[in-house]
Structure formats: structure tokens, C-alpha cells
Amino acid sequence: MDDEWSIPAVAVAVDLVVLTIRSAQLQVMLVERGIEPFRGKLALPGGFLASEDEDLDTAAMRELTEETGLPAESLFLEQLHTYGAPRRDPRRRVISVGYLAILPDLPEPVAGGDASAASWVPVHQVLRRRPALAFDHARILADAVERARRRLEYTTIATAFCPAQFTVSDLRSVYEIVWGQSIDIRNFHRKVTSVEDFLIPTGERTTKNGGRPAALYRRGKTETLHPAILRDSTR
């Protein structure tokens, strides 16, 4: 791995799939491209490494805060997959490292940096309908959504979609929306509350959803679920 000659110089980019739940839909943050190629098309937020000294994770976090204008608190960020097809960018050879970010429902993103506009778009609308995204971003998005769906089964990332305090119902609706299937209210309640260190009761209650007041929880320290909360794959 050492020959100094003939090492192609490559540009390395970081692309983010930023997911949230708004209006009871799984939505992804997209930017409208201001320049060629794919000018005017929608694309994932992202960009090239800013300097020789920037780590990949740092670059992903920087892009995220630049585009959303938000502090990095209560944020889930994970590297997904690296895409390196030779002509995925028509200008030059670009390798893109895809990241998955998950946020609670937030105010409108602030357009910033090289993005002329940033907005939330329902995922099903992006994947099922035209126009497709710029570059291979539709593929990256599809991979990210599939990863998120699996992560709900085995990990506690569902809480990353929720604000600091949330009810079991809020959490359940995350599962239902991301998976696109309904879940038995009562069994779900028992399952999530019985996992050690998953949900910490705050002692407070809320009636924001109507009906009997629901207990409020905050995320616990556990990051993996044993046993898993499995999707019904027969449906």
C-alpha cells in the first residue's frame, strides 16, 4: 500500500442524511443546489473536507451545524457507508462518506454556507416520486432509512427523534412512523418500560395528547436493546 507513484488524488466529501419526524411523517433535510452540476436539483446537505486536519466525524458535525444552525446537543450521528463509484460526480473523482443524523422536531432549518435553501421533505415523497435527487443521493438516502429502521429494532436511537422529555406514546409513534406499521399500544408500553436504563421517569406528567395524563420520560444510558423490539416482517 505504499507506492508513492500513481496514487490518484481524490476529493473526499461528507454527505448527511438528516432525519426527523414532522407532521407525523419521516422527513429528510434537503438543500437545493445553487451551482452545477445538478443546479436547481435537491441534494443531501454535505461538503468537502474543510482542511487537511479535519476528521471525518468532525466534518460531518460541522456540516450539520452549518446547515441547521443548531447546537450539537441531543443529536445522534453515525457513519453509514462510503460511496466511491468512479463517475458519481461528473466533475472529478469524489468519494463520499455518508452519515446518518437524527434530530427531534425542530424549527425550520437555517439555510447557510453553500446551500441556497434547506428544507424538510417527507422521505416517501423523495423515494417514491420524481424528481430524483442529485448524484447518487437517492441511493444514500434509501440506505440510511433502511439502516435507521434496523437500528430501531436493536438500539435506542428512537429516542433521538424525541425531545428531552417524552411519553411512551411519543416513542411509539416514532416506531410506527419510521416502520410504517402499527404497534400494539399495551405490549409496546410494557416492553419499553421493562428494559433497564432505556427510559427514566422524570416524575412529571402531561395531558398534551388528551385523555389520562401520561408519564414523561427522558433517555437512559442504554444504547442497545435486549431483547430487541422486532418488526412484524410478515406484513
The residue ranges that bind DNA (CB under 7 A) are 167-169, 184-187, 189-191, 193, 205, 207, 209-215, 227, 230, 232
DSSP string, 100-119: EEE--S-SPPPP-TT-S-EE
CB under 8 Å to 113, separation ≥6 — which residues?
Answer: 47, 66, 67
| Binding-site string for its own copies from residue 45 to residue 74, where x marks contact by CB under 8 A and - marks none | xxxxxxxxxxxx------------------
15 touches its own copies by CB under 8 A: yes
Rounded (10°) angle between helices 168-179 and 185-194: 110
139 touches its own copies by CB under 8 A: no
Q: Give SS3 for 142.
A: helix
Q: Which is nearer to DNA, 145 or 168 (CB)?
A: 168
| Binding-site string for its own copies from residue 192 to residue 231, where x marks contact by CB under 8 A and - marks none | ----------------------------------x-----
135, 31 contact by CB (below 8 A): no
Which one of its own copies, DNA, none interacts with residue 167, CB within 5 to 8 A by kind? DNA
Q: How many CB atoms lie within 10 A of CB 72?
A: 12
Q: Which residues of 172-186 are buried (b: 16+ CB within 10 A; e: fewer)?
A: bbbbebbbeeebeee
Which one of its own copies, DNA, none interacts with residue 34, CB within 5 to 8 A by kind? its own copies
- Would you tell me which residues interact with its own copies (CB under 8 A)? 1-3, 6-13, 15, 33-35, 43, 45-56, 79, 81-86, 93, 95, 97, 114, 226, 233
